[in-house]
Structure 1
């Protein structure tokens, strides 16, 4: 447990040191406000959160001074976040869906990645910049980033590609000041289709990265 805590703290400090970003509005280089605060708060609190057991992300964030949302306020908090995301992402090709108190952002691969590549295409940067601004404003949410592919090709290759794509999206958002302690990144390959893989239209829907926002409650 001691080693786990030290590893978590080291990750926070390394990330913060690298977190000089470009403000999407002014174009100026700056140190991320979120990362800067995390450097102090996480150093003091992340270890305490991890030692408490249970959900490491939740405990680390609470230990770093980010409070949980009281039960009755969760719905309103997520309503406001959903409304801002819808406003920011209108016309981008990214869908915003509510599932209970969670919010799902569906990012089709045809607008996020070149064919068979795992680096976000530059044309999608402004969209992710908009997402990052909202995620920083609503910091009482956990962020699950899931990569998915269609069924074409080798299972293990698709699994690895989906993981790398999800990680690329998480890395980009982290580079725009979103606290890395909030992220869980998973690749599911072709195992979770949302459409019929026997048609091109269905395969296109299955190739996606999803961001699930879960209230810190």
Structure 2
């Protein structure tokens, strides 16, 4: 079982986005967001965006493409798709080196795997503050390449009931989506998906396997 949620902004509502600017860390060379009010801004945004989660009609297709193209964001075509995704992949790999987040290319798609042990405390759905700089780096690249759609997929191991794990996977995916939105990522690009324990990438019969299965993935696909 999985649940799909899309993040949209109602025209009559304004979500408070924190003013931020990027700078380069002199030690790592990684771009970071310089934001003196990160905690307060994220708290204000979390309530606003959470109230705007709506169920996605799977039979109606992906409505994000129509929304973005209607807003003037052009679709990628032909050979430009591969080049666009190649450049984005290279920048993500540079930004996320030694971060604990893996970058995988699958055809035209890029998948970021964020292990649960560095993203969330056990059984919690609030992001670890120490992971904020990593998501800041991700946001900088995503904002530079707006012609992509972003699926935020939450996954758990099989410890606990399927119902509990389903809900936890959804809440964790929402937390990541909210943080990206707080850093300027257009919510019309986002789709939040909770998979619970249904898509393990390792056996759940060991501690290492369960740790691998507790993750949030960002699936980046071209707007085409």
Tell me the TM-score normalized by structure 2.
0.79
Tell me what 1:207 maps to. Answer: 214
Once the two structures are superposed, what CA deviation does each residue of 1:106-155 show, in whole Å capped at 9, x if it has no partner?
Answer: 00000000010001110000000000000000000000000000011111
State the alpha-carbon separation in 2 of the partners of residues 104 and 160 from structure 1.
22
Contact residue 101 and residue 114 of structure 2 kept, 8 A: yes
Once the two structures are superposed, what CA deviation does each residue of 1:148-192 show, in whole Å capped at 9, x if it has no partner?
Answer: 000111110000000000000000000000000000001101000
| Count of residues in correspondence between the two structures | 187
Tell me what 2:163 maps to. Answer: 156
Tell me what 1:18 maps to. Answer: 16
Contact residue 156 and residue 197 of structure 2 kept, 8 A: yes
State the alpha-carbon separation in 1 of the partners of residues 12 and 141 from structure 2.
23
Tell me what 1:108 maps to. Answer: 115
Q: Does 1:27 find its partner at 2:35? A: yes
C-alpha deviation, 1:55, in angstroms: 2.8
C-alpha deviation, 1:207, in angstroms: 0.3
State the alpha-carbon separation in 2 of the partners of residues 167 and 197 from structure 1.
24
Tell me what 1:56 maps to. Answer: 63
SS state of the match for residue 20, structure 1?
Answer: coil
State the alpha-carbon separation in 2 of the partners of residues 81 and 175 from structure 1.
21
Q: Does 1:98 find its partner at 2:96? A: no
**5+ residue gaps, structure 2:** 1-7, 24-33, 39-59
SS state of the match for residue 103, structure 2?
Answer: strand
Runs of 4+ in 1 over 2 A off after TM superposition: 20-30
Contact residue 105 and residue 210 of structure 1 kept, 8 A: yes
SS state of the match for residue 97, structure 1?
Answer: strand
| Equivalent residue runs for 1:118-197 within 5 Å | 118-197=125-204
Contact residue 69 and residue 215 of structure 1 kept, 8 A: yes
Tell me the TM-score normalized by structure 1.
0.81
C-alpha deviation, 1:29, in angstroms: 6.6
Higher relative contact order (CA 8 A, sep 6+): 2
State the alpha-carbon separation in 2 of the partners of residues 163 and 112 from structure 1.
14
C-alpha deviation, 1:17, in angstroms: 3.7
C-alpha deviation, 1:27, in angstroms: 3.2
State the alpha-carbon separation in 1 of the partners of residues 19 and 176 from structure 2.
15
| CA 115–87 in structure 1, closer or farther in 2 if over 3 Å, else same | same
**5+ residue gaps, structure 1:** 1-7, 31-52
